[in-house]
Structures are given as structure tokens and as C-alpha cells.
Amino acid sequence: MTIFKEIIEEEYLTIAETKELLTDIETERALDEERELRYELARAIDHTNRFAVLDPEESLELVESLEELEKVTEPTAYKIANLLPQDRDELRAIFAQERYSLSGDELDEILDIVARYA
């Protein structure tokens, strides 16, 4: 038997936003001392603590700045904000699955925006 689940709503989050949400959950769980964190939740918290570089407000500002560019879609802007690429090769990897490629100037423009926040 196959069970299908319907997606009701979808929202992109930066790692910084996710960290903030998970910290709230962790705090609530800490107040209820009898409940331990599930393995998956503990791993997610560890991951966000390790990789969240920006605060949530900065990460959203970065996403907004990136979305102003013509060839940067919302999902791609969130990927860039989460990965904070440092050079053209890292940035090209993010765009590898797109049906278009960016010129050197376009890549540099994105990297300049990322450098303002990173």
C-alpha cells in the first residue's frame, strides 16, 4: 500500500533561521526535563550550530539582495545564503543544475554581495 502526503505549504529557510527555530524547540524541551531530544532533532541542532554563520536578519537581507539579480531565483538565493560561496568554482557548483550559465561578471557580482555579509 502506498501512502501519499500532500504538501500544503512550502517555505524556504536559511540555516540561521532554522537555528533560531531549533533553539526555541530545544529550550522548550529543556524545560520538560523528562523528555529527551530525538536523535534527528539533536543532529539538526548540532548541524545548524556548526554551520550558521550569519544571524537570521542578515541572512534574509542577503537573500533579498540576491533575489534582486535577474538570474537568481528564490531557491538559489537561499542556497547561496546557506553555503556562502567564496569563489567562482563554489558558486558555479550551486548553479550546476540550472539550464543556463552565468558570465564571469555575473558570478563576481554575486560574490561581491556575499562578501558584504560573510
Tens of pLDDT, residues 46-93: 999 999 999 999 999 999 999 999 999 999 999 999 999 999 999 999
- What pLDDT does residue 35 have? 66
**What is the mean predicted confidence (pLDDT) over 1-21?**
90
Distances (CA, A) of 46 to 19, 24, 37, 40, 79: 9, 14, 12, 10, 19
| Number of domains present in the structure of the chain | 2
- What pLDDT does residue 46 have? 94
Q: Is 40 inside a domain boundary? A: yes
* Average pLDDT value over all residues in the chain: 91
DSSP 3-state helix, strand, coil percentages of the chain (rounded to 5)? Answer: 60, 0, 40
Q: Are residues 112 and 75 in the same domain?
A: yes
Distances (CA, A) of 106 to 43, 47, 72, 86, 113: 36, 31, 10, 14, 11
- What pLDDT does residue 11 have? 93
CATH number at residue 95: 1.10.150.80
- What pLDDT does residue 6 have? 87
Q: Are residues 45 and 67 in the same domain?
A: no
Choose the final residue of a domain: 31, 51, 71: 51
Under DSSP, is residue 72 helix (H, G, I), strand (E, B) or coil? coil
Q: Are residues 61 and 95 in the same domain?
A: yes
- What pLDDT does residue 63 have? 98
CB 75 within 8 A of CB 12: yes
**What is the mean predicted confidence (pLDDT) over 84-105?**
93
Domain range for residue 47?
15-51
Distances (CA, A) of 71 to 34, 98, 108: 49, 10, 13
Name the grid cell of 59: 541572512
